[in-house]
Structure 1
Amino acid sequence: MAISVSKKNTRATKKVEERRDSCRGFFNSLLCRVIFRVPAVILLFVLIFLWSSSATIISGNMVHVCVSSRKLNNLYCLSAGAQPNFEISLPAVRNSSTSTEAMPGAINRETKETVQPVAVVKNAFDDARDDEVAIAMKSVEEQLEMQRSWISHSNNQNCDERGIFVYDLPPKFNKDLISQCNDMIPWTDFCRYFTNDAMGEPIPKLGKNWYQTHQYSLEPIFHSRVLKHPCRVYNENEAKLFYVPFYGGLDILRWHFKNATDDVKDALALELMKWLQQQRPWLKNSGKDHVFVLGKISWDFRRYRGSKWGNQFLELDQMQNPIKILIERQPWHPYDVGVPHPTSFHPHSDDDIVSWQQRIIGSRRKHLTSFAGATRPELPDNIRTLLIDQCNSAGEGKCHFLDCRSGQCAGPETVIELFTESEFCLQPPGDSPTRKSLFDSLVAGCIPVLFDPFTAYYQYPWHLPEDRSKFSVFVDQEEVRQRKVNVVERLMKVPVQEREDIRSYIVYELLP
């Protein structure tokens, strides 16, 4: 898939919570303390696709990036460009440090310094808090509406001698990080996940298209794919998009559970910025036509003052212009682009897709619902314990709980088999709002039950439909927390025909 996105030219200063408190801090810090009107200036195009080949197309001044998208030979495209009447206008904040002068061959931009950031002050009273949350949600929804407006379904497949330039970075920014795979996390050997172009080792039990793919493998997967992109160019003067293959997620992952100083955690990203500032394409357009793909969540790159978790990569002034593609975006940064976690399913052909569709659409769903996960006792507001209690007390065939504390979820085989046997799959937030398991359930044809809109609805506007009822069931986590609803009983009331309609949409519309 491809994306076009407008840019902002100022540094974001919102705080983020430590990862272990990210769900709770996410709402307290962001929704109630500091909400900014997110600025933007003009548009930029960007390529995005994780698991299939793609092609860049340019017609007139418009740039399209198209992918086969598993749609059985049909291309799926998104566009951006510099047409006179093609622009996305949003107010920009003051103190922009980036020039908006039009560059030859670059996307034209115009900065309007008309709106200052408006912070929402936390109020102790519930009604004030509700107002703040409403303002925050409205801001996010406006962003999503804007982002969806960038989608194009053009079928043009001509690159027109312009395309994607991939930087050949010094190996310390990517390859050397891969070589540290056996020491990335103390209790895990990551090396087996980086074979087969980072898809991991094959899983014969599930079939030829299944691999041990780690949820943090997005960076090398994307890098491998874009190197083979048909519109990749080797002359920077022919490029409309510049991809920086920095494995920032692997960089910060190696420091998560070690006693490293902030200077150590920030060092490699700062070195990268110095390197980029010596490159002519970066200087030419201040990074506005550059894209980074990061295989960790946004909060890991936005360490706030007083915290020891993560680094400051996405808070750097230089990083406010480029597009950042992540498995979980910061909802108030329009240039944080959310993309699905990598799954273990990597089909090689249309026939592989059709074969899997036939298998899961005809699968015997012997469980009404299931939950694969573990409790989060360190997060008192998390609803997992309540869901597990409801599941375990539901009775035979109603709900199956797979306890991931026992190691049963270490490989995808057990989880995928459970999901293919379940009508619904519970997807509560974990350490952060998003879950790889959401996409595992979709691949298995299991209808996801979501409890937090930030798990999917506010994350993936290019991958999931605006109408959430087409592919999911939503139960407000606050109702669960207050014991106002028994989730299993509610799911029992969903008509069989409605279940079949949702599953058909997932299998035949989303999965391709």
Structure 2
Amino acid sequence: MWSSFSTLITGNIIHVCFSTRKIDNLYCLSAGTHPSFEIPTSTNNNSSTITPGIDQGNATAEPVNFPYTPHPVTAASRLVINDTDERVANAVKVVEEQLQVHRSWRSKSNKNYATCDGNGIYVYDLPSKFNKDLVGQCRDMVPWQDFCSYLSNEGLGEPIAKLGKGWYKTHQYSLELIFHSRVLRHPCRVSDETVAKLFYVPFYGGLDILRWHFKNVSNDVKDSLSLELVNWLERQGPWKRNSGKDHVFVLGKISWDFRRSSESPWGTRLLELDKMQNPIKLLIERQPWHVNDIGIPHPTNFHPHSDNDIISWQLKIIRSNRKNLVSFAGAARANAEDNTRSALINQCTSLGDGKCHFMNCSSVKCGEAESVIELFVESEFCLQPPGDSPTRKSVFDSLISGCIPVLFDPFTAYYQYPWHLPHDHDKYSVFMDKKELTQMNVVERLANISLRERENMRRYIVYELLPGLVYGNYNAEPDKFQDAFAITMNNLFERVSMLEQPHKD
């Protein structure tokens, strides 16, 4: 998956945009293909409102995430601007302010599960067409791959014996099944909706959209299940009481797949629907200017059952012989010689000293976790350029392998996962601006990082971050550690408790 990025300005709208092999048009993180959303200029940490961009001195507060008036983008009105432009800086500032809001929702509990204290979660028993029936279509989900084995075992997939206990052939789009399975077993789950504070909607929206990506069907067909779901929810008492503000969705694909513009055939409009603006949406990649979009880790292939599973893996990777200074698992893209990925491949393969190992995914099955994890466990640094969108599952593969990720765009991780990654990015990653790639030698710069600094970063990754980046298996029983699921649930309870508190002026 390749992409090229640029920053566009249209009127009073800022768009961080990229083009991909999948779509002919620019895709902009502010809205989708053919951007049409105004980026807000400020947030208020003590309320559920944000202020839209100011135009001609007129500013009006609107509810969080409610769509702004569309501003169509035409080729004539597009202007590529320098990233140092003040408007771009303001747009990035808004992203950072929203991340502060997300961090304010973090639970202070360091236990695997916070005490329920009346914070029950109710799981809707949706009609099967919204989840189970979608799994049943696994054989023809996409034309070239049978998804059934990946979606087996409650979304974990089949075990990988070679990597040891807790490793599975998990697909990157399996999050909906994994999360649903864990929520059903959560100790704070309640069967009486009247005593619940949080409501989980187990809609497999990612699987719904995946089945239409490569089929010639109308947009009405693509949107039909989303519209049926919203209509169903509107008839439910809990939804009516708070207009969905205490509801949560987990979606196993990136946000822009659910934000189709009127001029694009790609994706659905689930997250553009007015009724979908109040709920929290947990996604593997968030839309950076929507405060109710929250990024949570991509599923990796490691799903530990117990503390011992985690400790055993930590000891293995902290002791690993890292014979590769740098590695990169990816593929070159035809007709994209100037993109970040191609530049990195050229730098890596031009070295004859063995410092950089390139795993060419066009000739090697990088979908097989064994090959990728073994490479990362033997590497000091793992190059992580953006893919078809800013984020990569591979970032989490590298982290759980103790390989320090090298990032080239802040939207790959820094603006995505405030609940699971620290604000101090230097503790766990190296950042190099992609615009400077032609003027620097990436491998040489990484070689200049001292062994002591590398070890400090690796120990932080392995002992502080790793447990919270993986999703335990469906009957996980960790005691000492919080996994990605437990962190997410504790923070959701913290956030819903704030909804009951009076807003401060």
TM-score w.r.t. the length of structure 1 is 0.79
Aligned mates of 2:23, 2:337 — CA distance in 1: 10
- Among candidates 318, 327, 342, match of residue 385 of structure 1: 342
2:130 paired with 1:173: yes
Task: State the one-letter code of the partner of 2:160.
Answer: I
Which residues of 2 match residues 86-485 of structure 1 at below 5 A?
A: 87-88=46-47, 90-91=49-50, 124=79, 126=81, 130-154=85-109, 157-377=114-334, 382-480=339-437, 483-485=438-440
Aligned-pair CA distance for 1:132:
2.3
- Residues 367 and 476 from structure 1, CA distance in 2 versus in 1: closer, same or farther, beyond 3 angstroms? same
Q: Would the aligned equivalents of 1:32 and 1:120 in 2 still touch at CA under 8 Å? A: yes
1:492 aligns with 2:447: yes
* Equivalent in the alignment of 1:503: 458
Residue 128 and residue 210 in structure 1: after superposition, are their counterparts in 2 closer, same or farther (change >3 A)?
closer
Residue deviations 1:153-199 (CA, integer Å, cap 9, x gap): 13684323440000000000000000000110111110001122210
Task: Report if aligned partners of 2:330, 2:361 keep a CA contact under 8 Å in 1.
Answer: yes
Contact 1:242/1:291, CA 8 A, preserved across alignment: yes
Aligned residues with identical type, % of pairs: 61
- Give the Cα–Cα distance (whole angstroms) in 2 for the partners of residues 14 and 508 of structure 1: 37
Q: Is the 8 A contact 1:302 1:310 kept in 2?
A: yes
Amino acid at match of 1:461: P
- C-alpha deviation, 1:382, in angstroms: 2.6
Conserved? CA contact 1:17–1:25, under 8 Å:
yes
For each residue in 1:293-321, what CA deviation from the matched residue of structure 2 results, as whole angstroms up to 9, or x when unmatched? 00000000001121110011100000011
Shift of residue 34, structure 1, vs aligned partner: 5.1
Q: How far apart, in 2, do the equivalents of 1:111 and 1:25 lie?
A: 25
Residue equivalent to 1:58: none
Cα distance in 1 for partners of 2:48, 2:396 equals 33
Cα 1:476–1:39 change in 2 (3 A) is closer
What residue number does 1:37 align with?
Answer: 40
Give the partner amino acid of 2:39: F
| Residues 247, 280 of structure 2: 8 Å contact kept | yes
2-structure distance, mates of 1:32, 1:176: 33
Change beyond 3 A, Cα 1:155–1:400: closer
Give the deviation of 1:394 after TM superposition: 1.6
Unaligned runs of 5+ in 2: 1-12, 54-61, 468-505
Q: 1:127 to 1:458 in 2, by over 3 A?
A: closer
CA distance in 2, matches of 1:126, 1:111: 30
Shift in alpha-carbon separation, 1:23–1:487, aligned structure 2, 3 A: farther
Q: Distance between the aligned counterparts of 1:140 and 1:412, measured in 2? A: 33
Structure-2 change in CA distance of 1:216 and 1:274 (3 Å): same
**Is residue 36–residue 119 contact of structure 1 (8 Å, CA) maintained in 2?**
no
Q: CA RMSD in A?
A: 3.0
Name the amino acid aligned to 1:500. Answer: E
Q: Specify whether residues 422 and 392 from structure 1 end up closer, same or farther in structure 2 by C-alpha distance, changes over 3 A only.
A: same
CA distance in 2, matches of 1:131, 1:32: 20
Of residues 159-168 and 27-36 in structure 1, the stretch that sits farther from structure 2 once superposed is 27-36
The answer to whether the 8 A contact 1:290-1:322 is kept is: yes
- Contact 2:123-2:189 at 8 Å conserved across structures: yes
Contact 2:14 2:39 in 1 (8 A): no
Q: Is the 8 A contact 1:203 1:212 kept in 2?
A: yes
Distance 1:458 1:154 in 2: 23
TM-score (structure 2 length as normaliser): 0.80
d(CA) in 2 for partners of 1:14 and 1:172? Answer: 36
Distance 1:396 1:477 in 2: 24
Check 1:127–1:175 CA distance in 2 against 1; reply closer, same or farther (3 A cut).
Answer: closer
Equivalent residue, structure 2, for 1:25 = 27
Instruction: Give the C-alpha shift of residue 466 in structure 1.
Output: 0.6
Where structure 1 has 5 or more consecutive residues not aligned to the other structure, the ranges are: 1-11, 43-86, 95-109
Could you tell me how far apart the structure 1 residues matched to 2:143 and 2:297 are?
Answer: 26
Q: CA, structure 1 residues 111+36, in 2 after alignment: closer, same or farther (shift >3 Å)? A: closer
Asked if the contact 2:248/2:280 (under 8 Å) is kept, the reply is yes
Superposed displacement of residue 88, structure 1: 3.7
Q: How many residues align?
A: 437
Q: Distance in 2 between matches of 1:307 and 1:172?
A: 26
| Between 406-415 and 15-24, the greater mean CA deviation after superposition | 15-24
